[in-house]
Amino acid sequence: MTRQNGERTRPGGLWLLLVPVTCCGGPLLVAALAAAGALAWGGLGLGLTAVLAGATLLIWRRRRAGAARRVPRYPR
């Protein structure tokens, strides 16, 4: 950055505030990524469970409907 008169600005002591972020940010970043990964796997598992339950219900209904058509109503 430059000032209006053309001199460059110095960072001053403000960059020292970034030191705790670099030290403590690593574990926070790892924890955030782990939580996001767990949520992603949980969502994937929930979606897969819903698809399998729907497919099972569909197959069960079709088999039951087919079996009902094959049974004679009035045995001889």
What residues does each domain of the chain span? Answer: 43-69
Is the separation of the CB atoms in 2 and 8 below 8 Å? yes
- DSSP assignment of 2-68 equals B-TTSPBPP-TTGGGGHHHHHHHHHHHHHHHHHHHHHHHHHHHHHHHHHHHHHHHHHHHHHHHHHHH
What pTM value is reported for the model?
0.49
pLDDT at 42: 94
pLDDT at 26: 81
In sequence order, which residues have a C-beta less than 8 Å from that of residue 1 and are 6 or more positions away? Answer: 8, 9
Give the pLDDT of the chain (76 residues) as one tens digit per residue. Answer: 556 676 777 767 777 777 777 777 888 888 889 999 999 999 999 999 999 999 999 999 988 887 767 766 666 6
